[in-house]
Amino acid sequence: MRRAPGRRGPEGRLQDATIEALKRAGFWCWAVTSGTYVRSGRTYAAAPAGTPDIRIEPFGWLEGKVPKTPKLREAQRLWHEKARRFGTRVAKYTSVPEALNIANAWRNER
């Protein structure tokens, strides 16, 4: 469930800052909600569990992790493995500069 503005946890704040920086750098990107969420008492399905936090079109997917908890959850690890088997780029990052470096490297490969 989405938190009110200003009440997001460390990973949410990292994701927000990363999307802002990527957009300033000219990337087309957006946040992705995965798993399920409840709104007004109803349960909704979003992207499959483990889907990374950010889509950068047409380059790939980014999963943000704060240094305090840098490991992927099992669903995330499985999603990353499946994506790579299909030739989809996916990367984990722990800072905005690292995310920008990854995205720029992907853009420069084209």
Q: Residues 61, 76: contact at Cβ < 8 Å?
A: no
Residue 34 is predicted with a pLDDT of: 86
At 53-105, the pLDDT tens digits run: 999 999 999 999 998 888 999 999 999 999 999 999 999 999 999 999 999 99
Beta strands in 4-106 (DSSP E): 28-31, 36-39, 42-45, 54-57, 60-64, 90-93
At 9-38, the pLDDT tens digits run: 999 999 999 999 999 999 999 999 888 888
Domain of residue 73 covers 10-109
Q: Residues 56, 15: contact at Cβ < 8 Å?
A: no
CATH of the domain at 58: 3.40.1350.10
Residue 34 lies in a domain: yes
Q: How many domains does the chain have?
A: 1
Count of beta carbons in the 10 Å neighbourhood of residue 63: 23
Residue 50 lies in a domain: yes
CA distances from 5 to 8, 12, 53 (A): 7, 10, 17
